[in-house]
Amino acid sequence: MEGDGSDSPVTIKNIERELICPACKELFTHPLILPCQHSICHKCVKELLLTLDDSFNDVGSDNSNQSSPRLRLPSPSMDKIDRINRPGWKRNSLTPRTTIFPCPGCEHDVDLGERGINGLFRNFTLETIVERYRQAARAATAIMCDLCKPPPQESTKSCMDCSASYCNECFKIHHPWGTIKAQHEYVGPTTNFRPKILMCPEHETERINMYCELCRRPVCHLCKLGGNHANHRVTTMSSAYKTLKEKLSKDIDYLIGKESQVKSQISELNLLMKETECNGERAKEEAITHFEKLFEILEERKSSVLKAIDSSKKLRLDKFQTQMEEYQGLLENNGLVGYAQEVLKETDQSCFVQTAKQLHLRIQKATESLKSFRPAAQTSFEDYVVNTSKQTELLGELSFFSSGIDVPEINEEQSKVYNNALINWHHPEKDKADSYVLEYRKISREDEMSWNEIEVCGTSKIIQDLENSSTYAFRVRAYKGSVCSPCSRELILHTPPAPVFSFLFDEKCGYNNEHLLLNLKRDRVESRAGFNLLLAAERIQVGYYTSLDYIIGDTGITKGKHFWAFRVEPYSYLVKVGVASSDKLQEWLRSPRDAVSPRYEQDSGHDSGSEDACFDSSQPFTLVTIGMKKFFIPKSPTSSNEPENRVLPMPTSIGIFLDYDKGKVSFYDMDHMKCLYERQVDCSHTLYPAFALMGSGGIQLEEPITAKYLEYQEDM
């Protein structure tokens, strides 16, 4: 035990942020575990309760309007602390005390019940790690022997039973062999002599020796026999210790194995930040140029536009920085992993179990982000361009200031267009606005369309009956009585080129439930690669190949124009999407599996060159390949054969436009409603949306925009 705290100095150094109390922002002191599994200093819990008590007693007073219940009091009185610690503390003589306050770590309400602080466990494991960190931080300041004659020597051991530190000679003198003291527990030099025994809060004389699987907390045998956990499923502490330790070890191994992936994504975030920086500076320069052309009339507006761009740039950079820090915390020898490695050093089973469960859930949540990496913000500043084409007398409307009401800001990330348009906006002074007016108009080259206005009480609205293949501008302004704020910056959205075609995945026609997993709503399909591919290894060795697994839509198309959209999961290995006729589907679904070489299977996913030979002839299907975060343009006689000219980044959402009457299918980037690829297709039979997967992958159909998209607004 002498080596604790010195065998991994890098890890100890990098886990400091895991050891900071969310309330006082300092290293934990006697941390307690709240019911939400977050830890907080013992003194901070007391101060939180005192603050709530003062707020309750001062209701109606002008001085009781505090900004946060987590305000720290400089010197709480001892009588109040005694009242808080006392079980059954009450607000008054009639009402039992049930203390509810927001956890500083997760903001969720925590109910301590009538027992108050006495009902909380002390986090001994975290306390040990904090002490280990303190020792590493003050490594230059040695702990001296308590028993040496002056001058004292540097201590090498600390006895937990004697609560003293010793040099080697003094330790031998005061702990001679053959005596009871020789059996004392000793550790490396320390100043923290705390008893490491976890006692039951309900039965203070009983030691914790079981684990309740229903409540997910340690309990004693009296809790199981006749207490609150009598009818609960309880396991032994050793079993819970073993299970949680195995899970936590696997979590750490997984994160360490993903270190190269995390570093790659951090590098990508760095590039995105640089791109955001460059685009932001470029947008500033363009804005300056426009304003300089307008001379004195626009001089007073210029600083506001620059401020808006800088604010947006800072917001996006902050999002990227936060996202990068989250991923940085997943690296080995850093943050979460380092903290978990320190927890694994805990040998006391009870202490380990109470700490490891919440840490295991945190790591599980962290690993979810590795499966679907998406940048936290956009890098483009295309919309931050001042429109100088209007006449000079209209410039007065370009007001970026308000006499009493801030300008609302449309949220680009939460606004989208599909079958309808969903517009969300944010208002810094939401409670100070009575209502909002959402304006929208179609942008036309021929003439200037007038604005349509809709009065909205909330901060979101669904716009219906928009024309297909059109560009619309949206803006919003706030009203407080008769006072109106200036309009927000305009948001430009492009509607799909055709009406949205609604369908679900067909679980009956050709669906292979051994390889594909379809959810209950039938709007998401995943390819389960692995064991079946291993079973086919012998056939692969002698020259045969694993074919694609096909799945189609449950509704066919026989006429008209239609558009549908979907998302391909970034982790997908190989996915083909497009359309196929009924006769071609019968051929695909009848063919024996693993029996056809991809050289003769045009849709197998291999670039055999068969598409070149048949490009000019109209075919009964069209599929494009997506995989490994890339979108692959099929070869054609008119395009370059250079691979880099045919590979595009995979869009967040992909749209397909089928014009049955003209026999043409097009593939769109939904983020910008931009056509990436189009070609002719034989429409002599019924066409179906067709999908194929190989290896691990997933496809999620876009849901139509309905009122349920506004539900989150109620929770804000």
Confidence at residue 566, expressed as pLDDT on a 0 to 100 scale? 96
Are residues 554 and 660 both part of a single domain?
A: yes
- Decide if 192 is inside a domain: no
Question: Is it the case that residue 544 has pLDDT exceeding 80?
Answer: no
Average pLDDT (511-527) is 88
- Decide if 603 is inside a domain: no
Residue-number span of the structural domain to which 452 is assigned = 409-495
Are residues 416 and 534 both part of a single domain?
A: no
Contact 564, 702 (CB under 8 A): yes
Picking from 78-87, 236-245, 646-655, which range would have the lowest pLDDT averaged per residue? 78-87
pTM equals 0.44
Q: Please state, in angstroms and rounded to a whole number, the distance separating the CA atoms of residues 352 and 342.
A: 11
Picking from 29-33, 162-166, 191-195, 583-587, which range would have the lowest pLDDT averaged per residue? 191-195
Q: Please state, in angstroms and rounded to a whole number, the distance separating the CA atoms of residues 107 and 280.
A: 34
Average pLDDT for the chain: 77
Confidence at residue 444, expressed as pLDDT on a 0 to 100 scale? 83
Average pLDDT (355-378) is 79
Are residues 300 and 431 both part of a single domain?
A: no
| CATH classification of the domain holding 640 | 2.60.120.920
Confidence at residue 343, expressed as pLDDT on a 0 to 100 scale? 86
| CATH classification of the domain holding 131 | 3.30.40.10
- Decide if 422 is inside a domain: yes
Domain edge (last residue) among 107, 140, 173 = 140
- Decide if 22 is inside a domain: yes
Picking from 7-16, 64-73, 706-715, which range would have the lowest pLDDT averaged per residue? 64-73
- Decide if 63 is inside a domain: no
Helix axes 295-328, 349-371, angle to 10 degrees: 130
- Kindly write down the DSSP assignment for every residue of 119-150, as one continuous string: GSEE-HHHHHHHHHHHHHHTTTSPPBPSSPPS
Q: What is the band of 292 on the pLDDT scale with cuts at 50, 70, 90?
A: confident
Query: 292 or 27: which carries more pLDDT confidence?
Result: 27
Question: Is it the case that residue 4 has pLDDT exceeding 50?
Answer: no
pLDDT in tens, 380-406: 887 777 665 554 455 544 443 445 678
Instruction: Please report where in the chains the tokens 């292979």 appear, as a residue.
Output: 512
- Decide if 606 is inside a domain: no
Are residues 557 and 660 both part of a single domain?
A: yes
Q: Where are the beta strands (DSSP E) in 339-420?
A: 409-410, 416-417
Q: Please state, in angstroms and rounded to a whole number, the distance separating the CA atoms of residues 305 and 322.
A: 26
Picking from 279-293, 522-536, 694-708, which range would have the lowest pLDDT averaged per residue? 522-536
Number of domains in the chain: 4
Domain edge (last residue) among 140, 159, 175 = 140
From the list 122, 124, 43, the residue with the least C-alpha distance to 84 is 43
Are residues 437 and 358 both part of a single domain?
A: no
Question: Is it the case that residue 652 has pLDDT exceeding 50?
Answer: yes
CA-derived radius of gyration, the chain: 33
Confidence at residue 533, expressed as pLDDT on a 0 to 100 scale? 60
* Per-residue 3-state assignment (H helix, E strand, C coil) for 663-705: CEEEEEECCCCEEEEEEECCCCCCEEEEEEEECCEEEEECCCC
Are residues 680 and 534 both part of a single domain?
A: yes
Are residues 521 and 654 both part of a single domain?
A: yes
- Decide if 315 is inside a domain: yes
Are residues 576 and 639 both part of a single domain?
A: yes
Instruction: Please report where in the chains the tokens 């295309």 appear, as a residue.
Output: 382
Are residues 454 and 525 both part of a single domain?
A: no
Confidence at residue 605, expressed as pLDDT on a 0 to 100 scale? 38
Are residues 118 and 255 both part of a single domain?
A: no
Q: Please state, in angstroms and rounded to a whole number, the distance separating the CA atoms of residues 145 and 124.
A: 25
From the list 359, 345, 366, the residue with the least C-alpha distance to 38 is 359
Picking from 140-154, 278-292, 589-603, which range would have the lowest pLDDT averaged per residue? 589-603
Domain edge (last residue) among 87, 114, 140 = 140
Are residues 483 and 347 both part of a single domain?
A: no
Burial 477-515 (b: 16+ CB within 10 A, else e): bbeeeeeebbbbbbbebbbbbbebbebebbeebebeeeb
Average pLDDT (422-431) is 80
pLDDT in tens, 498-515: 999 999 999 888 788 888
Q: Please state, in angstroms and rounded to a whole number, the distance separating the CA atoms of residues 543 and 364.
A: 40
Picking from 118-122, 492-496, 558-562, which range would have the lowest pLDDT averaged per residue? 118-122
Are residues 544 and 443 both part of a single domain?
A: no
Confidence at residue 463, expressed as pLDDT on a 0 to 100 scale? 92
Query: 541 or 623: which carries more pLDDT confidence?
Result: 623
| CATH classification of the domain holding 448 | 2.60.40.10
- Decide if 524 is inside a domain: yes
Identify the top-confidence range among 324-333, 336-345, 674-683: 674-683
Instruction: Please report where in the chains the tokens 């969720």 appear, as a residue.
Output: 108
Q: Please state, in angstroms and rounded to a whole number, the distance separating the CA atoms of residues 470 and 468.
A: 5
